[in-house]
Amino acid sequence: MDELLARGARKVYSTARSAYTDDRTEVVTAELEVRSAASVAALAEVATDVDIVFNNAGILLPAPLLTGDFEDATMTFDVNVFGLLRVARAFAPILAANGGGALVNMHSVLSWLAGSGAYGASKAAAWSLTNSLRLELASQKTQVVGVHAGFIDTEMVSAMELPKATPAEVAARILDGLEADATEVLADDATVAAKAALSGPVERLTLSAAR
């Protein structure tokens, strides 16, 4: 949000699962639960003037595919995949009415790397979803951008002792990609390396190999 405002955005809708306030006049806050079609629809009824939609909601639960709680795996996919799709479906007509605009979906370096259970599987599904949405939204001239990043210094991974990019660094790369009409943004060196490895043996596409 800060990077958008710094680059001249006149209005930014900022959402969270619980109500909160922001004193900046350019910021409109709203509650959003991406697991709820009604909540997504309510936001779409308010934010009819948007021309860029950022799908950044995500959840990381300890959910190994074979031994983890199945409800955790279900919730992971509901937020990381179907939540993304709910937002895309609700806002596609709005973007079309406003000239096409852009849809930006946040993925992960783990979209391409095995070893992170339901989270990685959900991000791989989200990557595929974005690639298909790009085709379906092309006729309305909506730019669809998939963002892949390693670990970002946010609350989600605060307990992990790993090198992390700052949110500001990632935000700047995303907006640079938008301005360059990119379809994909690789936000850090780890992600660039993982993408390059896709042409190699699948056995090398693991979380341990990326460290």
Closest CA to 115 of 210, 211, 206: 206
Mean local confidence (pLDDT), 46-69 = 94
For 79-115, the pLDDT digits (tens) are 999 999 999 999 999 999 999 999 999 999 999 999 8
For 68-89, the pLDDT digits (tens) are 999 999 999 999 999 999 999 9
- Residues in Cβ contact with 174 at an 8 Å cutoff, skipping those fewer than 6 apart: 3, 104, 145, 147, 185, 187
* Helix, strand or coil, per DSSP, at residue 31: strand
For 119-173, the pLDDT digits (tens) are 999 999 999 999 999 999 999 999 999 999 886 655 555 555 556 668 788 889 9
Domain residues of the chain, as ranges? 50-210
Q: How many CA atoms lie within 13 A of 103 on its CB side?
A: 30
Per the structure block, which two tokens stand in for 66?
């074979």
Separation CA 133–CA 123 (nearest Å): 15
Are the beta carbons of 76 and 108 closer than 8 angstroms? no
Are the beta carbons of 178 and 52 closer than 8 angstroms? yes
| pLDDT over threshold 80, residue 203 | no
- Which CATH fold would you assign to the domain 50-210? Rossmann fold (3.40.50)
